[in-house]
Amino acid sequence: MSILGTNKQPRPVARHAAILGLALFSTLSFPVLSPLPASAADCKKIAEEVGRERDLIARRDLLVNAIKQCPKDPEINFMQGYSLERLRDYNEALRYYVSASTLDPKHAKAFFGLGDIYMVTNKAQDAVNAYEKGLGLDPGNKRAAKSLESARIKLKAQRGESVSSEEAVTVLFEEKSKDREISPIEATILRLLVLFPDKSTELPEEGGDQLSIVGARAFTSKELKGAIFEVAGNTDDSGDAKANLALSKKRAEAVRNYLIKNCNIDPKKLQVAAYGHTHPIVPNSTEQNRKINNRVEFKRLK
């Protein structure tokens, strides 16, 4: 039987007893008793039971009861935060991560969770602080160390400092990798940024070389046989918005056409999208940053 709930049915009650009960409640008042909180041992068992559930929705439902029984348990608060983060409810996830880290100031994973939420919501300074706090408790966490690196780069960009193309790719890949588990083959595609000269729609030679490598080894792999990718064109914010939208579409089409003609990629695997200057990686505050934003990138749709 699950510790999180029971399926017991009420015992039948005789008619005269029911009538007597109604009479008693009509003349007497009783305090409403709240359920007793679970013990520390019970909360540990509840956390273990929730941890065995792999279905996101089922886990969410289990955690609703778990939080009611163990509102002050840091691990269950952390699990609720992580569950809500995966379900994209970032505001609620943040609340439970804060609760977990407050209840247990040595809960490193709670601070890493806070850092992840702050990164998604573009609060780079808060993310840096959270990752540093977590790594102070768990210095060997490699994933968190990479996330801290990305947060520091993102903070530089938000402050208007120069960010290299390599640093931009680091941030882009780190944010994508948090969204779900990805394979090394897919990672190769998602990390690829094809940069275009200002206002140009002609694929640079270097970009063609990169696409040839990716097209030969990744897009045609058995691992991604049924995958579909968005080929997204982007620009910096200089010039007319309508013209930038058209420019970004032509760039995406140039990349798609190259992959189809030179790498024998099935056209059905590549869908063009144009975003103009609405999806910058870094602020358009320096010449170097604008070069980074003039790009085509990939996103897996299926």
Identify the pLDDT of residue 10.
44
Domains of the chain: 40-158 (1.25.40.10), 182-300 (3.30.1330.60)
Identify the pLDDT of residue 21.
39
For CA atoms 243, 248, 249, 250, the dihedral sign is positive
C-beta of residue 130 within 8 angstroms of C-beta of residue 95: no
**112 burial via Cβ count (<10 Å: 0-12, 13-18, 19+):** buried
Identify the pLDDT of residue 112.
96
Percent of the chain having pLDDT more than 70?
76
What digits encode the pLDDT tens for the residues 217-269? 778 888 788 888 899 999 999 989 999 999 999 999 999 999 999 888 899 99
Identify the pLDDT of residue 160.
63
Tell me the mean pLDDT in the region 159-179.
Answer: 61
CA-CA-CA-CA torsion for 224, 181, 289, 207, nearest 10 degrees?
A: -20
The two structure tokens encoding residue 151: 């947060």
What digits encode the pLDDT tens for the residues 181-213? 556 666 667 767 888 988 999 998 888 888 887
Q: What is the DSSP string of the chain?
A: --TT---PPPPP--HHHHHHHHHHHHH---PPPPPPPPPHHHHHHHHHHHHT---HHHHHHHHHHHHHH-TT-HHHHHHHHHHHHHTT-HHHHHHHHHHHHHH-TT-HHHHHHHHHHHHHTT-HHHHHHHHHHHHHH-TT-HHHHHHHHHHHHHHHHHTT----HHHHHHHHHHHHHHHS---HHHHHHHT--EE--TT--SPPHHHHHHHHHHIIIIITSGGGTT--EEEEE---S-S-HHHHHHHHHHHHHHHHHHHHHHH---GGGEEEEE-TTSS-SS-TTSHHHHHHHSEEEEEE--
